[in-house]
Amino acid sequence: MNTVGIAACHNYDDAAVKRALAEALRPCGGMGKYVRPGAAVLVKPNLLAAASPDEAVTTHPAVVKAVIELVQEAGGRAYVGDGPMKSPLPVVAKECGISAVLEQTGAQLLSIEKAVVFHTESGSLQRSFSLSAEALNMDIIINTAKLKTHNLTGITAAVKNCYGLVPGNMKKYYHLRHPLPADFAELLLDLYLAVKPTLSIVDAVVAMEGHGPRSGRPRPVGALLASADGVALDAACAELAGFSYEEICTLQAAVKRRMLVPGGGNVQVKGPLQELKPENFNKGAARGGYSFLWRYFPSLMRNMQEKRRPWPVIGSRCTNCGDCTGHCPSGVITASPARDRARIDYDGCLRCYCCLEICPAGAVQLAKKKPSRER
């Protein structure tokens, strides 16, 4: 049985967050079970982009601070690192409130830039990865994620957060190599098993609903969750936000590998999950229903899911900054001063939604039907 702890936390007051995090960790054995004195510990938050903590794009600094303090109290040496999509890590850390936390706690910022090839026998789809050498040199990785919807995977929480340990342009390469949600989910699961975070924590004090992981809306949930098993933690996060396993492609992959039992039979949640579930959480691009069909006709449902995936459309808020052109894995987005906005060649579009994630203006929206022409 895989244990997940959950505790109520309705604001980001430092003392309240630390108290709730300790409560969430208690069913898992507490921080001292995982951190030995002198250990080098990477606290790996979600630092997707340079955004204010109030936008719910990144792990809140109060949660990162609480994790660092508990690590230090257990005798560990804390480092904080992630691989943002665009801006340098110090720039993102400052905007997200992490730099102030580092000053307060004495923890160090760890750049995730040097890539090494890491081989693993546990992979189902991918058995070698380009991973951060700096992260692999740590004794312990504490995966400190943000609960958000994700237009490709359904949600991003513990498993998806490990993707930040892939340096630089290799993120684009993996999107290009595995463009379908089911295949990308297998990749993410292989990556999680290769990285093997010692502990995973999810900030759901304020989650993101709608068109996450960048352009959604902050949604107060009031929860902190923790587990030594990131897959079980994602299952609890899905239940908290009202998703079925069938709506989260990484959980589908975990069920397929028998890491999860449909319905959560091998996940034991300790804490007020049912009491904290928000009403009418906006799932964004994830589709509801069809659980019966998924159980008995998975191939049919995968084909239907692929056909129903929405298409990115660049709207009038586009500033022609060119960020999306440099981060499109298939290179089908172009920007020109002669046009009022960037353009997508839909014949080559993977629907990976990297453009939606990177756009600082929130100009990328989703359309149910494939646009009839480049726009």
- Kindly give the pairing relationship between strand 77-80 and strand 154-156: unpaired
Spatial distance between the Cα atoms of 29 and 116, rounded to a whole number of angstroms: 33
Q: How many CB atoms lie within 10 A of CB 253?
A: 26
Alpha carbon distance 69, 275 (integer Å): 28
Q: How is domain 2-276 classified at the CATH fold level?
A: Rossmann fold (3.40.50)
Residue 348 amino acid letter = G
What does 63-74 look like in DSSP terms, one character per residue? Answer: HHHHHHHHHHHT
pLDDT of the chain along its 375 residues, tens only? 899 999 999 999 999 999 999 999 999 999 999 999 999 999 999 999 999 999 999 999 999 999 999 999 999 999 999 999 889 999 999 999 999 999 999 999 999 989 999 998 888 888 899 999 999 999 999 999 999 999 999 999 999 999 999 998 899 999 999 988 889 999 999 999 999 999 999 999 999 999 999 999 999 999 999 999 999 999 999 999 999 988 899 999 999 999 999 877 899 999 999 999 999 999 998 654 444 445 555 665 566 666 778 999 999 999 999 999 999 999 999 998 888 999 999 999 999 999 998 999 999 998 988 887 555
For residues 333 and 19, what is the distance between their CA atoms, to the nearest angstrom? 46
pLDDT recorded at residue 1: 82
Instruction: Please give the C-alpha separations between residue 211 and each of 222, 286, 316, in angstroms, as whole numbers.
Output: 20, 10, 17
Residue 199 has a pLDDT of: 98
Instruction: State which CATH number among 3.90.1150.10, 1.10.357.10, 3.30.70.20, 1.10.3090.10 fits the domain covering 310-367.
Output: 3.30.70.20
Question: Dmax of the chain from CA atoms?
Answer: 60
Residue with token string 């463009």 = 179
Q: Which residues contact 252 (CB under 8 A, 6 or more apart)?
A: 182, 185, 245, 246, 294
* pLDDT at residue 308, rounded to an integer: 76
Task: Kindly give the pairing relationship between strand 140-150 and strand 40-45.
Answer: parallel
DSSP strands (E only) in 65-215? 77-80, 108-109, 115-119, 128-132, 140-150, 154-156, 199-209
Rounded Cα distance between 112 and 321, Å, is: 25
The two structure tokens encoding residue 160: 């998806």
Res 295: pLDDT: 54
State the virtual CA torsion across 242, 244, 250, 253 in degrees, nearest 10.
170
Sketch the domain layout of the chain as residue ranges. 2-276, 310-367
CA distance 204 to 6: 10
Q: Which residues pair with 149 in a beta bridge?
A: 155
Which token pair is 305? Answer: 């899911």
- Directed axis angle between helix 230-241 and helix 181-195, to 10°? 130
CA distances from 246 to 2, 54, 289 (A): 20, 30, 8
* Residue 122 DSSP SS3: coil
pLDDT at 303: 62
Query: How many other CB atoms are there within 10 angstroms of residue 49's CB atom?
Result: 22
* Cα dist from 43 to 70, 144, 158, 256, whole Å: 11, 7, 13, 30
DSSP 185-203: HHHHHHHHHHH--SEEEEE
What DSSP state is assigned to residue 59?
A: -
